[in-house]
Amino acid sequence: MRKSNIAIFHLFEYLNMYAVLSVVIPFAVYMATLAPSVTFFDSGEFLTATASLGSAHSPGYPLFLMYAKAFTWIPLGNIAFRVNMATAFSSSLACLGVYLLTVALLKKEQLADNEQFSAFIVRTAALAAAVAFSVTPRLWLQSNHDKPYPLLAFMTAMIFYLLLKWREQYECGEERPAYVYVCTFLAGLAMALHQSVVLLLPAWFLLIVLADWRMITRIKELVLATAFALLGFSVHLYLPIRATQNPLLNWGDAKTSTQFLWHFLRKGYPSDPHSRDAALLWAQVKAFNVPHEFTWLGAVLVLFALFCLWKRQRHIVVAYLAAVFSFLIVIAGYFDTPIDMIFLTEEFFTPLYLLTAVLIGVGLFNLLTYAIRNASLP
């Protein structure tokens, strides 16, 4: 009995309880508000495609279907409830991504001579950012039913985290290209969740070349990175393989290369031209709405974080702004979504909201730092 108590003590000592809470708190909230069955829009389609290991609407979402399928084996509730729980769990992992990224950005910050106190403030700010992200309207809405975007947000968070680890090692004189290879693999894999992940490529590219522009001249590393990306992308073979089995829902019927490309390239969506005035353009841009998701206080903390990071970690600011610009120029500019369909594009910004939540954590930490350093005893 004593040995088991000692083992439990060491387990809690080893675990970062702040990181655990960044998952447990959101998951508890999501489970308390989880939809008990089928909801609206794509819900029934995703449930059917998951249960039958088929294919959903273009581009098919094969990775999400395989991920959610594992949850259908849990003996709890009905199939719809289990798949909804899969999204709740991936949303909680996305919140963990916020925590890890925030800590990674602040790990070198020293608030006081007491390292334990500094670590406490860093972790508290990171946990606050994770919880703030968990209850944003957009993420919370997705988290109570079957959606692929929270899992996409988590994977993009891991890519950013690994790139920060790579930069840290590189600046210390140690080259760890394996970090980049894992990132390219995850990026290829994430294409099977939603193709909007390619809009983050400029940000990832800048994080690398701003460390050393000569990276783009290394042919061997470029070839290996491309190979790992293709390896991750190969999960799309699920679509033609499963199509040959004629599942219950086989959208696109990707048995042939022609049908696969039709499905993957989203050729089935209508593209009726329409006029665009300033009001429509502004509505399209407002689909990415930080004050709505995080309140105006959150927006102010984001601006404060960008100001503070510009002085110490300028590459983070450049990468974030590049990501925002890339999303807006394509989703708002190129897609030219009609006014009555703009709500469908709001989910595409989920990875951007995750990065924004990280900035809120950074801004909160810097605000606390300023308050503590300027506090005076009576």
Write the DSSP string, 55-78.
B-STT--HHHHHHHHHHTTSSSS-
- pLDDT over 80 at 353, yes or no: yes
- Tally of CA atoms within 13 A in the half-sphere of 365 that contains its CB: 34
Q: Of 14, 21, 32, whose CA–CA distance to 130 is shortest? A: 21
Query: Other CB atoms closer than 10 Å to residue 233's CB: what's the count?
Result: 17
For the stretch 169-176, contacts whose Cβ atoms lie closer than 8 Å and that sit 24 or more positions apart, written own/partner, are 170/211, 170/212, 171/211
Q: What is the pLDDT of residues 257-309, one digit of tens each?
A: 888 888 888 877 766 666 666 777 778 888 889 999 999 999 999 999 999 99
Read off the pTM. Answer: 0.91
- The one-letter amino acid code at 215 reads M
Element (H, E) at 368: helix 350-373
Is the preceding peptide bond at 75 cis, omega within 30 degrees of 0? no
Tokens of 264: 């993957």
Q: What is the pLDDT of residues 79-90, one digit of tens each?
A: 999 999 999 999
Is 124 exposed, middle or buried (CB count within 10 Å of its CB: 0-12, 13-18, 19+)?
A: middle
- Tally of CA atoms within 13 A in the half-sphere of 298 that contains its CB: 24
Q: What is the pLDDT of residues 125-164, one digit of tens each?
A: 999 999 999 999 999 999 988 899 999 999 999 999 999 9
Separation between Cα atoms, residue 26 and residue 42, nearest integer Å:
23
pLDDT of residue 214: 82
Separation between Cα atoms, residue 197 and residue 188, nearest integer Å:
9
